[in-house]
Chain A
Amino acid sequence: MYPIVKKRILAPGIKLLEVKAPDVARKAQAGQFIILRIDEPGERIPLTIADFNREEGTITTIFQEVGYTTWHLGQLEEGDALLDFVGPLGRPTEIENYGRVVCVGGGVGVAPIYPIARALKEAGNEVISIIGARSRELLILEEEMRKVSHELLVSTDDGSYGHKGFVTDLLVRVLQEKKVDRVWGIGPVVMMKAVSEATRPFGVPTIVSMNPIMVDGTGMCGACRVSVGGETKFGCVDGPEFDGHQVDWDLAVQRLRMYRDEEARAQAFHQEKRGGCQCR
């Protein structure tokens, strides 16, 4: 069992869990993910690593409650334990000194961008970070991101904080003003697509972190197929990071919808069992 040592509610529906998993923490690097299972009937879900502490032997994950499993995860408290927790999976981010880099995080995607920005800064890059959310109350890790960036820009869709609009507005502005050597974009698929389209005319290499549906996470099942440059790749072992300019975004959006009906059914079934629907 893998005990939860810390829980924080970062924003409505966005929660942080720090989990004791020393073997995973020993090896975890920016860009990798873990797979967890809450209990015996539970499904295996991948979550990107938001932070790791090798001394304490812990891994931090940040997730948004979007379906039954993430909702259930959000109900757990410090002292509770997860049945399974495996990792670190996937290839780590290729960290080197590229020069000037931009790290773009949208929504809960700010969480995985954080250790990447930190590692890039430690490697000597000038790090400009752009983070965004639908509104101010949904914006996470602003202070943390500020610490690991030379410059931090913020946007909200509704204008309740920072620039009113999308992270890509700010990204284009940076690209117009400065020479940028590499861009990372992590967030919802539509946002990552927009980031890739924004950088394409500037010819700046752009890395995105795909979040396909997975089962084992070790290359065994092929559920996580992503089409990159016309070639089928497995998100779990070939990724999760890919060249954003080569990703087939429409396919990625489509494949995420595979179990939408089943997710609704599972949610209804289990939340009923737990005494009344608690969907927000």
Chain B
Amino acid sequence: MSMPVSTRKTPMPSQPPGERIRNFSEVALGYTEEMARQEAERCLQCKKAPCRQGCPVEIDIPAFIGRIKEGDFAGAIEKVKEKNNLPAICGRVCPQENQCEKYCTLAKKGEPVGIGRLERFVADYQLSQGEVEPPALATPTGFRVAVIGSGPAGLTAAADLARMGHQVTVFEALHVPGGVLMYGIPEFRLPKEIVQREIDYIRRLGVEIRTNSVVGKMVTVDELLESGFDAVFIGTGAGLPYFMGIPGENLLGVYSANEFLTRTNLMKAYLFPEYLTPIKVGRRVAVIGAGNVAMDAARTALRLGAEKSMIVYRRSAEEMPARKEEVEHAEEEGVEFHLLTSPVEIHGDEAGWVTGMTCIRYELGEPDASGRRRPVAIPGSEYRMEVDTVVIAIGQGPNPLVLQTTPGLELTKKGTIAADEETGATSREGVFAGGDIVTGAATVILAMGAGKKAARAIDAYLRQKGEKGNG
């Protein structure tokens, strides 16, 4: 090695904060070819490749980075796609700092290789080259698999199963596929055109996607099994918003984060009235919670015209579940953090519109079941916070529609599906599950990892069932 390795990642070019809070365009602009090659040079190509153990979808990370180094971008994306069918999405939204990059040898002395940024670069490179050709598929097996939900878990399972030669049909309740990638994660973090292009690729693998199809209402899991599907994968996600149960939560101007983001992202309320779905954003917006969804909501509120956007969280900065990068972006954009405080009541005017909240201050006590220090309310510390919009982003539970209509499907105490961690197998034969419907609200990449494992288990299950003629 002639050149010393830089201890810092090649910086990601991005829209300046002052500019970007006035638009919904992507914040991080992506590496140029030069930047990508420069960053790839930092990779030590470790023989043991510790980074790989941090990747839920098992990408051969040194191999794809090695190809970038050589300028073989097409070869690099091919390598990524051996394992990951949604690289342009993962490169943008994976929490790499807790995964591959956490284990990078360079991380011991400085910043790790920007693996996520490089993944995004090669994925975008391929998309910029026009139609993406699908790889050769395995010989058709004649088996049919129904996938319920077209979010990260479902799409990954569908793509892998298709590549294994099975005939896959995806059932999606909404009018576009993508699940949380479309309704939840904002355009400025994950452009919807990118999501749809990745999904187009999955369609070209032979996967059929049926939108407007609510399993549990239009058709049940049992009816799918009776009508010729040999296995079912349930990836319906965490689609039931939690509220706090405090007075005033049904006032006008109180949204669940799901509703706030769905109106904006899926229904494009930021283009109202050209697009017909409205959204109401006041001057002062409080977002309750401090996860990634809360950061998305707080940053969205600014772009929708709020003068002040505030995160209200009952623990301290250290316990915030959001990715560091998301918190930093929110801070740069001027989101205020009101920590160790939480609302106990929301107030409204005579017509029912939110006018403010009574909050109470907290201090941190002993660690609780989650290992984080338990927030304890300080008696008598109530104070009033003037707000006109409140977004509740304290988490989501499992959507009940499929669960209620599938007899014999065992659930956990939390109401999620009880499924084997390694295979996704449920208490029902031929029915597998993965993603947030099993784990509770988690991340895109964990859901994809679960989809991948389930696809492998479904493949094994079908093959042990024996041969099947085509159709």
**Chain A residues near B (Cβ < 8 Å):** 23-24, 26-27, 37, 41-44, 68-69, 83-89, 215-216, 218-223, 225, 227, 232, 237, 251, 254-255, 257-259, 262-263, 265-266, 269-270
Contact = CB atoms under 8 A, between A and B. Distances in A.
B257 to A, nearest CB: 10
A168 B207 CA distance: 55
B196 interface: no
Contacts of B259: 215, 221-223
B interface secondary structure, majority: loop
A21 to B, nearest CB: 9
9 contacts: A27-B218, A44-B277, A215-B259, A219-B400, A223-B255, A223-B259, A262-B272, A262-B278, A265-B272
Nearest to B216: A218
B174 A89 contact: no
B258 interface: yes
Interface stretch (B28-36, B152-160, B238-246): B238-246
B280 A259 contact: yes
Contacts of B213: 23, 86
B317 interface: no
Interface in B220-267: 239-241, 243, 249-250, 252, 255-256, 258-259, 262-263, 267
Contacts of B212: 84-86
Contacts, number: 121
Contacts of B173: 86, 216, 218
Question: Among B239, B255, B272, B277, which residue has the most Cβ atoms of chain A within 10 A?
Answer: B277
A88 B212 CA distance: 10
A interface secondary structure, majority: mixed
B399 interface: yes
Interface string B264-286: 00011001111111101000000
Interface residues of B, number: 40
Contacts of B274: 41, 269
Contacts of A265: 272-273
A42 to B, nearest CB: 6
A41 B276 contact: yes
Question: Among B240, B255, B268, B278, which residue has the most Cβ atoms of chain A within 10 A?
Answer: B278
A227 B218 CA distance: 27
Contacts of B262: 215-216, 220-221
Given A43-B267, A220-B399, A237-B401, A87 B175 contact: no
Contacts of A41: 268, 271, 274-276
Contacts of B134: none
A44 B219 CA distance: 21
A24 B217 CA distance: 9
B219 A23 contact: yes
Contacts of A251: 250, 352
B351 A215 contact: no
B211 interface: yes
B399 A227 contact: no
B214 interface: yes
A232 B250 contact: yes
Contact of A69 (B256, B276, B280): B276
Contacts of B401: 218-219, 237
Given A37-B175, A266-B278, A222 B243 contact: yes
Contact of A83 (B175, B256, B271, B277): B175
Contacts of B258: 220-222
A197 B305 CA distance: 43
